[in-house]
Amino acid sequence: MRRTTAVLTGAAVAALAIPLLVAAPANAADPVAALKGQFRTGYGVKITERAKLVGDGGNPRTVYGRVKGVLEFGPSGVVASDLTSSFELPASEGRAPEPFAPSRTVTVKGTSYTQGGVYAGALPEGKKWLRGRDDALAMVNPAQKLFDPLEPATLRAALARATSARPGGTLDGTRTVVRSGSLTLGELYRISPTARAVLGSKPSAKSAPLRVSWRLYLGADQLPRRVVSSYVQSVRGLTSVDVTYLNDTEYGGWGVRSAIKAPPAAEVADFDELKIGDTDPGNPGLNLFLD
């Protein structure tokens, strides 16, 4: 699977205003209607994402990825983001290699600007940000979320197939109900722009039937407060490992005021301006599991 774009690999939010919850429709028994009620320009939601990639072979290893920041909405959904990311490697690996360095990514109008991470040391003098090109900007955890409850079509499809519901405790100051179920990789690729970005290409005939299990915590206002998703993929033949991808994302501060802007043009470099040597950082996240 290809790495995804830097839109999901970035970093901390500049000062955020006190959250102002945008009122959901009066009869918002429908989570999809409640979600669409939040799609207003200049408002957003805070997220905290924890991703874990676990190799189950004879020498099990785990890579942890963390993302924190804000997603900003427009009339049709998420239009901008300001996110920080960091990684934790197995203790036996020692100091994290450069591609795992913390990074911040601001995404505005479909363009991502990354600070830190893989190419931080290759920026020209006076430049602080690298403008996105394809998916080459930053090291990302392959366990980032495939199941995105902020997409109305994905949320609708998931809830239509939910197999259970139970109390989920209190999150973000509201009591929650947990709905759970599963979708296949093939279904998610067809329905979800996020899944298509993460996967990079259509799942193979072997991978498409893999089931992505999910648990969705909905608040009293029917808005997502947490989603946990996971799936297991065998890479035996390539290596002796089965890999488990686990993602746990929390959403809070619905209705936070947000005005994310691109960095100053004078501080931005493009990919062809980088001073890159002969060494390719490659994909150490995957190599950790290739024995």
pLDDT recorded at residue 242: 78
**pTM given for the model:** 0.79
Higher-confidence residue: 251 or 109?
Answer: 251
Q: What is the mean pLDDT of residues 124-131?
A: 93
pLDDT recorded at residue 54: 80
Confidence of residue 55 (pLDDT cuts 50, 70, 90): confident
Confidence of residue 22 (pLDDT cuts 50, 70, 90): very low
Confidence of residue 64 (pLDDT cuts 50, 70, 90): confident
Quick: pLDDT tens for 70-106. 999 999 999 999 999 988 766 555 555 555 678 999 9
Confidence of residue 13 (pLDDT cuts 50, 70, 90): very low
pLDDT recorded at residue 19: 39
Q: Please state, rounded to an integer, the average pLDDT across all residues of the chain.
A: 79
Q: What is the mean pLDDT of residues 277-291?
A: 42
Higher-confidence residue: 276 or 274?
Answer: 274
Higher-confidence residue: 55 or 223?
Answer: 223
Q: What is the mean pLDDT of residues 171-175?
A: 96
Q: Burial level of 196, CB count in 10 A (0-12/13-18/19+)?
A: middle
| In the predicted structure, residue 209 carries a pLDDT above the cut 60 | yes
Q: What is the mean pLDDT of residues 5-28?
A: 36
Q: What is the mean pLDDT of residues 215-227?
A: 97
| In the predicted structure, residue 140 carries a pLDDT above the cut 80 | no
Higher-confidence residue: 291 or 232?
Answer: 232
pLDDT recorded at residue 200: 83
pLDDT recorded at residue 151: 96
Q: What is the mean pLDDT of residues 150-167?
A: 95
CA dihedral 161, 166, 167, 173 (to 10 degrees): 0
| In the predicted structure, residue 133 carries a pLDDT above the cut 50 | yes
pLDDT recorded at residue 241: 65
Confidence of residue 243 (pLDDT cuts 50, 70, 90): confident
pLDDT recorded at residue 287: 41
pLDDT recorded at residue 12: 31
